[in-house]
Structure 1
């Protein structure tokens, strides 16, 4: 507390409670505007700022953002997703990205017949979020 400063009745106390959308980052900004009286100092006190993450007592069931089938795949891997698909990447077990010409995108399916047998990671960018799915090529 600054010297010789005592809160007056003109001081404003505000309580703000909000629930952000799950999975989003939250930034808090505190802003103070200059007062109207010349030569008067205005102070902002922040007290009891807290963040609480609540847990539910029961299971939360969410619908998957993306589904792929069949898995294991032999030739064509079908994609079912909600949202805007903006990128598709396939990585082998060594973490190397499979060249695009080795997978052909045809609507909602991937032609994976040109890939060698083995395990792969499929990464789909949907609505600016990356979904990773392990797939097996037979």
Structure 2
């Protein structure tokens, strides 16, 4: 005779699992959004990005998540040419030594 777990109803000896899970806090760098200036938004051609320290990279994604522009940089002031992109909403991902930040930009 079996119960709903597929085991017999007679008492039996089984196998026990014993393990330890060590959890540590993750260190996440903070991207200071207060030190970030992005203008104009919405934009037609050029998006200006200013940050307090050097940006190491910028990536632009379209509405369905496809990468449409990617650039490695080492500057704190960047002019991003979006003139070749079609009108729509894009996600811009910035990277610096401090961390990463993503924001939405509207291209007219």
TM-score bracket relative to the smaller structure: 0.5 to 0.7
Instruction: Give the 3 Å change call, closer, same or farther, for CA 99–122 of structure 1 in structure 2.
Output: closer
TM-score, normalised via structure 2 length? 0.61
What is residue 59 of structure 2 aligned with on the other side?
Answer: 89
Larger Rg belongs to: 1
1:43-83 CA distances to partner (integer Å, 9 max, x unpaired)? xxxxxxxxxxxxxxxxxxx7613221000000010111111
| Distance in 2 separating the partners of 1:129 and 1:91 | 18
4+ residue segments displaced more than 6 Å: none
With structure 1 as the length reference, what TM-score do the two structures score?
Answer: 0.48
Q: Which runs of 5+ in 2 are unaligned?
A: 1-25, 72-76
Higher relative contact order (CA 8 A, sep 6+): 2
Task: Tell me, in whole angstroms, the C-alpha distance in 1 between the residues paired with 2:33 and 2:69.
Answer: 31
RMSD, aligned α-carbons:
2.4
Unaligned residue ranges in structure 1 (runs of 5+): 1-23, 27-61, 102-106
1:70 equivalent in alignment to 2:72: no
Q: Deviations over 1:61-116 (max 9, x none)?
A: x7613221000000010111111210110001101111449xxxxx6211110000
